[in-house]
Structure 1
């Protein structure tokens, strides 16, 4: 099963504490599965933990979350070597690819070393839904803001650029994110930039932003543009996912 057109769900969320497990997949991940259109079988979801070094303990927690959700989950690991013989074939067989958080700078470097920058474009065009949280959101855009280099946030501008925008994550929970997005857009270092509060996802069909969705009430999405000599921020009210 493939989405009807290339689809990306870029988020600042997707997990919550579990009742009998360490964590569960929150509504944003379930929405990513819904966007794929899969029906009649367990959804095939693969997780990439590249940005955090493919931590096996987290993979175990995700395996428990997948069991609760009824997903067929695999972890595509790249450390110390890929754990599948054909990365592209593996990804093309999925309904949803979910990329975890961590260092987006390290993620992009490792992905390029393994040719994933080109592979992901083909996988996206084939209709496999691409999604993720934090670094797993920024990676699909031209760039965004990151703490990959240290405690002081910096801009990063070498994303995969499947989407021709910048991306701002954790917009409401990390006080330095919003002013840096505004500064980078004002300086022309980021193009029009789409941002998400914690618990919000941005849905793209092709390269068009079609809606914001939320798993937490009262949260928002935002579009930041350079207008003449100033920066304009527009709030997007998300559709709440029950």
Structure 2
């Protein structure tokens, strides 16, 4: 299977089965009859409530869920554990903290190997930011700022929560216009971009009104191009 990443703008892991189209999409991408999917909640400090929520969404009647904690690490061999998965789902939270802890544990290298092996990598908010070269984040305080040291599996920048956080759109426009962030993609909540290798394969949405956006630097500032995702009608 070609390396695959699904980066979600936010609003995922809904407790309503009727609003879990993107989660179903991820499971289908694995091609497995009984897919194994692991949750990594580093960005929220491995908060138990988020782990419980993951298990309620990716329940045992549809897949084989598991989770990996690093704050209180129980798994000795990360490669053995993660290479046995069909998909890896990264939860939201603090992108900067996530990257620092992953690098401390060597998880960044393990995830690159997992990606190259064809294990589906996915996640929402910080769990979408992390795969990109750069992103917008509130990791360093209440003010949104650029983050420039993402994993870089995908070149360019990413901006989540484009429709629900008032700072996101003007900040992203300005950062791209001034060259502080490379050209990239913004996603509303309930929108995801799927990459095959490093190429955009498609945009999908679990709400018909949700959109994605391509942001590019121009001599006059920036160009913002609306993208209508494929609606996953549940």
Same fold (TM over 0.5): yes
Unaligned runs of 5+ in 1: none
Q: CA deviation at 1:153?
A: 0.8
Which residue is 2:58 aligned to?
66
Which residue is 2:100 aligned to?
109
Aligned partners of 2:15 and 2:57 also within 8 Å: no
After TM superposition, list the pairs within 5 Å mapping 1:24-43 onto structure 2: 26-39=20-33, 42-43=34-35
Aligned partners of 2:134 and 2:181 also within 8 Å: yes
Which residue is 1:14 aligned to?
12
3-state SS of 1:17 partner: coil
State whether structure 2 residue 2 is matched by structure 1 residue 5: yes
> What is the RMSD computed on CA atoms of the aligned residues?
1.5
Q: Work out the number of aligned pairs and report it.
A: 232
Give, in whole Å, the separation in 1 of the partners of 2:28 and 2:56: 20
Give, in whole Å, the separation in 1 of the partners of 2:218 and 2:138: 27
Which residue is 2:48 aligned to?
56
Give, in whole Å, the separation in 2 of the partners of 1:206 and 1:30: 21
Unaligned runs of 5+ in 2: none
3-state SS of 1:37 partner: coil
Q: CA deviation at 1:18?
A: 3.5
Q: CA deviation at 1:36?
A: 1.6
Give, in whole Å, the separation in 1 of the partners of 2:15 and 2:3: 31
Q: Please say which of residues 129-138 and 4-13 is displaced more in the overlay.
A: 4-13
After TM superposition, list the pairs within 5 Å mapping 1:1-242 onto structure 2: 4-12=1-9, 13-18=11-16, 26-39=20-33, 42-67=34-59, 70-80=62-72, 82-242=73-233
Q: CA deviation at 1:221?
A: 0.8
TM (norm. structure 1) is: 0.91
Give, in whole Å, the separation in 1 of the partners of 2:220 and 2:61: 48
Give, in whole Å, the separation in 2 of the partners of 1:6 and 1:241: 22
Give, in whole Å, the separation in 2 of the partners of 1:18 and 1:209: 28
TM (norm. structure 2) is: 0.94
